[in-house]
């Protein structure tokens, strides 16, 4: 919920970017950051420091505030965070209702959720750091349009998305809010992959890959490694985090998953791979 509060501030003040790229957070050397947010003649950044367990607010004029990350209700965090912004001369209005969760409670009224498990948070961040490095190396193999490697605070997944360059068929989601979100996110053909803590029938941390729109044959491609499986309810390939962690070379195992599931989507979707891809050697550059 704290990530959603900070993420909504970034979304409210950052100029809109295609496919909602002005919304996510980014993995940093100590946690997760908004990156610089423009505010008049100044800019500011909000960073969750998961080593020192504090929230850092830094402004381009040299002013700053630090808030401890410790057990406290969502309402208390919201109050302290908005007060810190106000003290720095930053005023922003956000929709206080959290998204992508069951039974949401407005931030300023949520006194139900008040936990903060520092060791678990630190472990989660270290997983993000490891995954971020491999996802960026994978991103470097692509010549076409690609998203940054970014962290979506609604579902808590770290993702990178490749684009074929072709428009996608018009979506017809019935929910008006969902329709607005999905039409912008999936206006063009994509193959997206990443890491997330689990959910929707996958109860443990996992890596995933999906294609939108999904073309016939995607789900039957001989992907690697052997422990990868297709989750039909979500329409995604899944590789459990523990299978990666326990492998002899976790980075190579994850890259194998990313590459083979991308190929499944690109072949099924008849992407122009010759003009969109480059070899791993070329992507690595010259030392």
Residues 105-155 have pLDDT tens digits of 999 999 999 999 999 999 999 999 999 999 999 999 999 999 999 999 999
Query: Is the preceding omega at residue 213 within 30 degrees of 0, hence cis?
Result: yes
Number of domains in the chain: 2
Same domain, 79 and 176: no
Same domain, 37 and 98: yes
pTM reported for the whole predicted model: 0.94
Same domain, 163 and 251: yes
Same domain, 143 and 253: yes
Burial of 102 (0-12, 13-18, 19+ CB in 10 A): exposed
Last residue of a domain, one of 116, 133, 162: 116
Distance, in Å, from the CA atom of 32 to the CA atom of 92, rounded to the nearest integer, reads 20
Same domain, 49 and 135: no
Tens digits of per-residue pLDDT, 180-234? 788 888 899 999 999 999 988 898 999 999 999 999 999 999 999 999 999 999 9
Q: What is the CA radius of gyration of the chain?
A: 20
Residue with tokens 């002899």: 248
Same domain, 109 and 161: no
Tens digits of per-residue pLDDT, 219-278? 999 999 999 999 999 999 999 999 999 999 999 999 999 999 999 999 999 999 999 998
Same domain, 16 and 103: yes
DSSP secondary structure letter of residue 16: P
Same domain, 143 and 90: no
Last residue of a domain, one of 63, 95, 116: 116
Distance from the first to the final alpha carbon of the chain? 42
Domain of residue 38, residue span? 2-116
Same domain, 38 and 55: yes
* DSSP 3-state of 24: coil
Same domain, 64 and 158: no
Same domain, 19 and 41: yes
Same domain, 164 and 74: no
Last residue of a domain, one of 100, 116, 132: 116
């Amino acid at each position: 919920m704290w990530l959603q509060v900070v993420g909504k501030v970034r979304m409210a003040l950052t100029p809109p970017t295609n496919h909602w790229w002005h919304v996510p957070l980014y993995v940093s050397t100590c946690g997760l950051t908004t990156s610089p947010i423009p505010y008049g003649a100044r800019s500011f950044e909000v960073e969750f420091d998961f080593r020192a367990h504090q929230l850092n607010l830094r402004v381009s004029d040299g002013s700053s505030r630090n808030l401890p990350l410790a057990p406290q209700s969502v309402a208390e965090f919201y109050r302290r965070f908005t007060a810190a912004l106000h003290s720095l001369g930053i005023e922003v209005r956000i929709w206080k209702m959290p998204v992508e969760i069951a039974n949401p409670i407005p931030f300023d009224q949520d006194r139900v959720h008040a936990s903060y498990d520092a060791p678990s948070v630190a472990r989660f961040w270290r997983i993000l750091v490891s995954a971020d490095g491999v996802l960026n190396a994978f991103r470097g193999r692509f010549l076409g349009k690609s998203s940054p490697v970014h962290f979506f605070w609604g579902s808590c997944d770290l993702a990178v998305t490749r684009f074929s360059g072709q428009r996608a068929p018009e979506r017809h989601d019935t929910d008006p809010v969902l329709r607005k979100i999905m039409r912008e996110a999936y206006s063009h053909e994509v193959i997206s992959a990443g890491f997330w803590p689990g959910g929707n029938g996958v109860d443990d941390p996992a890596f995933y890959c999906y294609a939108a729109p999904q073309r016939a044959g995607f789900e039957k491609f001989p992907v690697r490694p052997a422990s990868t499986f297709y989750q039909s309810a979500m329409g995604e390939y899944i590789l459990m985090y523990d299978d990666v962690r326990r492998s002899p070379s976790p980075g190579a195992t994850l890259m194998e998953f990313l590459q083979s599931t991308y190929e499944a989507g690109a072949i099924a979707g008849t992407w122009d791979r010759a003009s969109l891809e480059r070899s791993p050697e070329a992507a690595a550059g010259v030392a």
